[in-house]
Amino acid sequence: MSSHLFKHPVRLAIAVALLGFGGQAMAHNPMCECKEIESGQIRCTGGFSDGSGAPGVTLDVIGYDETILVPGKLGADSTLTFERPASEFYVLFDAGPGHIVEIDQADIEAP
């Protein structure tokens, strides 16, 4: 930044704001994958595009009627294993605003 920005507080605030928005472009994206590991058992693994894991992040199994069928959080290994619900469902990986992934039951790979 040139020194003339420091003489004008409004210009300085705008420059700082623009730099802040540019930093958001470097944010990591949420990732979640669910696979059926054996008959009736599904394992989901969550993390971020920068390679970091997501231990403790909310991962809920939700029915199509919006009922939470399996409330959960990813374990220390960034996974959660659960019984396949009898009703239709989707998985919601929720690491906060802008960091949400939904996986429909139809997109879960069978073994």
72-90 pLDDT, tens digit each: 999 999 999 999 999 999 9
Distances (CA, A) of 86 to 89, 96, 100, 102, 108: 9, 28, 24, 19, 15
31-43 pLDDT, tens digit each: 999 999 998 999 9
Query: Which residues have a Cβ under 8 Å from the Cβ of 80 and sit 6 or more positions away?
Result: 43, 44, 46, 59, 72, 73, 74
What's the pTM value of the predicted model, to 2 decimals? 0.74
Domain boundaries, the chain: 30-107
Q: How many CB atoms lie within 10 A of CB 95?
A: 22
3-state secondary structure of 52: coil
pLDDT value of position 23: 42
Q: What's the distance, Cα to Cα, between the start and end of the chain in Å?
A: 56
Fill in the DSSP letter of residue 108: S
Topology at the third CATH level for domain 30-107: Immunoglobulin-like (2.60.40)
